Amino acid sequence: MAITQTRPQERPELAPIRTIRDVPVEEFYTSGHRTCQGCHSALLMKYLAKAAGPRTVTIGATGCMYVANTSYYATPWVIPWMHTQLGATGSAVIGAAAGYAVQQRKGKLAEEPINVIGIAGDGGGADMGLSAISAALQHTQYNVLIILYDNESYANTDIQASGSTPWGAVTAFTPSGTVKRITQDRWKKNTPGMLVAGHPEARYIGSASAAFGVDVMNKIRTALRVGGPTYLHVHDACPKGWDFDPRYSRELGQLAVECGIVPLWEVIEGELQYNGITRQIVEGRRKRKPVREYLMRQGRFAHFTEEDVDYFQAKVDEMWEKWILPGVLPVQALPEGLPKPGRRAAGLADGAGAAANGAVAP
**Which residues are at the interface with another protein (CB under 8 A)?**
20-21, 23, 25-40, 42-43, 46, 54, 67-68, 70-80, 155-159, 170, 213-214, 239-241, 243-251, 296-300, 302
Q: Which is nearer to another protein, 30 or 357 (CB)?
A: 30
Q: Which is nearer to another protein, 221 or 240 (CB)?
A: 240
Cα(2)–Cα(237) distance, rounded to whole angstroms?
42
Q: Which is nearer to another protein, 9 or 31 (CB)?
A: 31
- Cβ atoms of 234 and 48 closer than 8 Å: no
Cα(67)–Cα(353) distance, rounded to whole angstroms?
39
Rg of the chain in Å (alpha carbons): 20
Residue 264: which residues within 8 A CB-CB, separation 6 or more?
207, 208, 209, 212, 215, 257, 274, 275, 276, 277, 278, 279
Q: Which is nearer to another protein, 46 or 199 (CB)?
A: 46
What pairing do the DSSP bridges indicate for beta strands 265-268 and 204-209? antiparallel
Q: How many Cβ atoms from other residues are within 10 Å of residue 243's Cβ?
A: 16
Residue 9: which residues within 8 A CB-CB, separation 6 or more?
none
Q: At what angle do helices 40-52 and 213-226 cross, to 10 degrees?
A: 40
| DSSP single-letter state for residue 246 | G
- Cβ atoms of 333 and 324 closer than 8 Å: no
Q: What are phi and psi of 246, to 5 degrees?
A: -55, -25
Q: How far is the CB of 86 from another protein (least distance, A)?
A: 16
Q: How far is the CB of 316 from another protein (least distance, A)?
A: 20
Q: How far is the CB of 99 from another protein (least distance, A)?
A: 17
Q: How far is the CB of 211 from another protein (least distance, A)?
A: 9
In one-letter notation, the amino acid at residue 307 is E
- Cβ atoms of 47 and 220 closer than 8 Å: yes
H or E segment to which residue 265 belongs: strand 265-268
Secondary structure of residue 86 in the 3-state scheme: coil
Q: Which is nearer to another protein, 163 or 246 (CB)?
A: 246
Q: How far is the CB of 290 from another protein (least distance, A)?
A: 13
Q: Any alpha helices (H) in the chain, and if so which ranges?
A: 40-52, 64-70, 89-105, 130-136, 191-198, 213-226, 239-242, 249-258, 276-282, 292-295, 306-321, 343
Q: How far is the CB of 61 from another protein (least distance, A)?
A: 16
Q: Which is nearer to another protein, 33 or 199 (CB)?
A: 33
Q: How far is the CB of 202 from another protein (least distance, A)?
A: 29
Q: Which is nearer to another protein, 142 or 244 (CB)?
A: 244
Q: Which is nearer to another protein, 119 or 214 (CB)?
A: 214
Q: In what order do the strands lie in the sheet with 115-121?
A: 81-84, 56-61, 115-121, 144-150, 229-235, 204-209, 265-268, 271-274
Q: How far is the CB of 266 from another protein (least distance, A)?
A: 21
Q: How far is the CB of 320 from another protein (least distance, A)?
A: 25
Q: Which is nearer to another protein, 247 or 287 (CB)?
A: 247
